[in-house]
Amino acid sequence: MKVIVTKNYDEMSQVAANIIIDVVKNNPSAVLGLATGSSPIGTYKNMIKDCKENGTSYKNVSTVNLDEYVSLNAEHDQSYAYFMRTNLFDHIDIDQNNTNLPCGVAKDLQAECDRYNGVLAKLVPDIQVLGLGSNGHIGFNEPDTPFDSVTHIVDLTENTIKDNSRLFASIDEVPRQALSMGIKNIMQAKSIIMVVSGKNKAEAVKGMVNGKITPALPASVLQLHPNVTIVCDEDAASLL
């Protein structure tokens, strides 16, 4: 596990974007695994800037996203489908038919998980972007999710509902469930880059990097992956 400590969020975002852009330059048909949340927004901004200014093309790139809220359709402004369009896809030359997310309003959610596992069997990310939940979750794999899990329906923890309520009008509007790639799916990526910023993540970063490998802290599984880069700002790294 390689850890790069940056001064702040902006530097973290630039470093992370450069790593992803290099993957796309080396392989114009790369598969990118993507994440939502506040952490990767700056990374995506830099990718957009580079696409516009330097012409890095996403024409032949495919993407798979980590997760989606149950019950929010793709037009809902808090859905991850909406997040991805507004924070990245609408601003680069990607073919949106090549972008994939689980569908949170599918009639049969388990069938949707099975469908998504089929997508992931064909599209193995060259690089998977991750954020980190303050309780150590990755994707929406909450503490005690088995390491051999694949895409599944998740009951969100109170901690995650509270963390994510800042983006909703009230905590009651935060969906209680999500569909998420499992830990096994995430670990299949050829390389992984995690962006983490802020003091509230410092404890989880410490456990992930130096702690015991345990389902109680899902991100600790990354110690077992051969090609992981953690890009974190000084606040997130403050307990290392």
Which of the residues are catalytic? 67, 135, 137, 142
Instruction: Examine residue 139 and tell whether it contacts ligand GLP (CB under 6 A).
Output: yes
Pairing mode, if any, of strands 67-69 and 177-180? Answer: antiparallel
Instruction: Examine residue 160 and tell whether it contacts ligand GLP (CB under 6 A).
Output: yes
Q: Which alpha helices (H) appear in the chain, and where do they start and end?
A: 9-26, 41-54, 80-87, 109-122, 158-164, 183-187, 202-210
Residue 228 has, within 13 A of its CA and on its CB side, a CA count of 21
Q: Which x/- pattern, by CB under 6 A, does the window 53-82 give for ligand GLP?
A: -------------xx---------------
Query: Smallest distance, Å, CB 96 to ligand GLP?
Result: 21
What is the rounded distance in angstroms from the CA atom of residue 140 to the CA atom of residue 121? 19
Residue with the CB atom nearest ligand GLP in the bound state: 131
Instruction: Examine residue 87 and tell whether it contacts ligand GLP (CB under 6 A).
Output: no
DSSP letter at 91? G
User: Encoding tokens for residue 43?
Assistant: 């990374």
Query: Smallest distance, Å, CB 55 to ligand GLP?
Result: 29
Q: Which of 113, 132, 236, 237 binds ligand GLP (CB under 6 A)?
A: 132
Q: Which x/- pattern, by CB under 6 A, does the window 29-58 give for ligand GLP?
A: ------xxxxx-------------------
Q: Who contacts 135 (Cβ-Cβ below 8 Å, separation ≥6)?
A: 142, 143, 157, 159, 160, 204
Which span (23-31, 94-102, 127-135, 214-222) binds ligand GLP, by CB under 6 A? 127-135
In three-state secondary structure terms, 177 is strand
Applying CB under 6 A, which residues contact ligand GLP? 35-39, 66-67, 131-133, 139-140, 160, 164
